[in-house]
Structure 1
Amino acid sequence: DRDLEVGQTVTAEDLRAVDLRLESTGEQYVAGSEQLGEGSVVLQRVPEGQLIPTGALGRQEDIDRRPIGIPLATPLPSGTRPGDLVDIWAAQRDRTGGQWGEPVQILEGAELAGVEDSAGGLGADDDATAQVLVETADVEAVVGVLSGESRVTLVPHLGGGR
């Protein structure tokens, strides 16, 4: 019935049952709310109106990604939406503080969970922050860049998965 975001607890009220004839692929999707276990959470984003893959639901401890807020120095391209994959690039300020070094790719193919800003869009201003889902093993690298004096840029990852 609505977008299901990673980490969200799912109940029967979040779903709308439809009758479909899926033939041999039926076992790949959640078959109604009777398959929901107590405390089921979303492991991968499911847009409103989509069938729910069985691998998209699980337990809280199955989530292997962490949301990290990344301040946007530059706007995301129009059409960039939650659920899209982005690459994280960073340019370090040089020691004199006047120039930026060559950008380096920090992470490839992280999921954009959303963007929060005062205008409510996907632009960049002083208050714009992208929420990016980062695999646990990559958290240290992303936090390290954010804790230093770096300019971080998100670039849509148009090539699919990592």
Structure 2
Amino acid sequence: MGILLVVASVAGVLTLVSFQDTTVPMYVARQDISLGQKIDASTLRTVDVRLDAVQQHYLSAEQEPAADLRANSLIREGELLPLAAIGGRDPQGRKPLSVELTEELPVAVTVGTRVDLWAAERGANSTTYGEPKRLLQSVEVSSLREIDSGFGGAAGQVVELLVTDEDLPGLLSAIANEARLTVVQNPGGAAE
């Protein structure tokens, strides 16, 4: 009789544990995914997690992601993919624009950081620059990469900024007129 009670107890505990272990496969970002970047098997990995009531807010790994899926905000490496962060359009109407820089970026500037962009217009003699003016305030960095000089050394950096249509004319004019552009980290971090 004692052996039957022990077997029944063990079977009951195993059954209870199996019912409470309700993990589901979900997608997480294999690396940082920036705004507009295509989301596919190369950018995702699968993990089993227990989400309970919030499961419907994240991309499930029970089926393949749609072929035209893109990020509409920054998704950090290792994060679950919120459904609100995928689809391909930034909810704030921002667009990524690449800016070439000749100076080093501050170490603290990474993808997702908020920065200000300053521009100094080229002077009349083409060797001097005017007083710097702030073109953009508290814009988000969506991508960073080094510019390769071809001889093994870097010749600068390209920073991709998320800008609105209102910000484009001044920024495009500065780029076209070869203004000296400088990125300054904005520790406040919130757009005004």
Q: Is the TM-score greater than 0.5?
A: yes
CA offset at residue 41 of structure 1? 0.7
Q: Which one-letter code corresponds to 1:148 in the other structure?
A: N
Alpha-carbon separation, structure 2, partners of 1:33 and 1:142? 44
CA offset at residue 89 of structure 1? 0.8
2:178 matches 1:134: no
Alpha-carbon separation, structure 2, partners of 1:98 and 1:114? 28
TM-score by length of 1: 0.76
* Structure 1 range deviating more: 39-48 or 135-144: 135-144
Contact preservation (8 Å) 2:35, 2:96: no
Residue 65 of structure 1: aligned partner: 94
Residue 45 of structure 1: aligned partner: 74
Identity %: 28
Aligned-CA RMSD value: 2.8
TM-score by length of 2: 0.66
Q: Any stretches of 5+ residues in structure 2 without a counterpart?
A: 1-29
Residue 14 of structure 2: aligned partner: none
Contact preservation (8 Å) 1:92, 1:150: yes
Query: Larger radius of gyration, structure 1 or 2?
Result: 2
Describe the shift of the 1:77–1:53 C-alpha distance in structure 2 as closer, same or farther (beyond 3 A): same
Runs (4+) off by over 6 Å:
none
Residue 148 of structure 2: aligned partner: 118
Contact preservation (8 Å) 1:71, 1:128: yes
How many residues are matched? 156
* Structure 1 range deviating more: 91-100 or 40-49: 91-100
Superposition map of 1:1-162 within 5 A: 1-32=30-61, 34=63, 36-59=65-88, 62-63=89-90, 64-95=93-124, 97=126, 99-112=128-141, 113-118=143-148, 126-162=155-191
Alpha-carbon separation, structure 2, partners of 1:42 and 1:160? 21
Describe the shift of the 1:35–1:161 C-alpha distance in structure 2 as closer, same or farther (beyond 3 A): farther
* Structure 1 range deviating more: 3-12 or 151-160: 3-12
Q: Any stretches of 5+ residues in structure 1 without a counterpart?
A: none
Q: Which gives a bigger RCO, structure 1 or 2 (Cα 8 Å, sep 6+)?
A: 1
